[in-house]
Amino acid sequence: MNPGLRRPAPSLLPTLVTAGTSLAGWAAWLGWDQHRDIQPDGTTTGPYEAWQVIGLVLTLLVPLYWAASRHRGTVAVFGPTIGLTVAAFSDWSDDASGLYTVGVVMVTAGSLAATAVVSAVIGATSGPARRAAARQHPAS
């Protein structure tokens, strides 16, 4: 078998794992809550509470940190973004107004930007490059 054909599978696996983790995180934190709250003035909020979104973000930091600290920036950025995009699309696609596509695009853009920034910070402050620099310039 051609060695080039075997190579994409191992490099794709971490992306699929982080995407699957993100999808599972969405299901655990947000997927079960479909109820909108009606306020006394008649307006509706929800369906998600702030604590649910914060829990999802904190959960997503685990696979993102794992990938970024190993200098796998592509995995750290695209894995969670793909997982959240698929989750938002499947969770919101029953909206009759069609506005769910705007929400899905916003989730995609927001998660792409956020994971890129967090991944860059983690990659710059951890991993082999950081340890090598610390060995060359030990703190006094």
57 or 99, which is more confident: 57
Quick one: which H or E segment has residue 62? Answer: helix 50-69
Task: Write down how long the chain is.
Answer: 140
Least confident of 22-31, 81-90, 131-140: 131-140
Q: Which residues form the domain of 59?
A: 3-136
Region 76-83 average pLDDT: 96
Residue 18's closest CA among 105, 99, 104, 87? 87
- Asked if 24 and 50 count as a contact pair (C-beta separation under 8 A), the reply is no
Q: pLDDT class for 68, splitting at 50, 70, 90?
A: very high
Above pLDDT 70, what percent of the chain? 82
User: Whole-prediction pTM value?
Assistant: 0.80
pLDDT in tens, 5-60: 556 556 789 999 999 999 999 999 998 877 888 888 988 877 888 999 999 999 99
Residue with tokens 């991993």: 127
How many domains does one find in the chain?
Answer: 1
Residue 120's closest CA among 69, 78, 79? 69
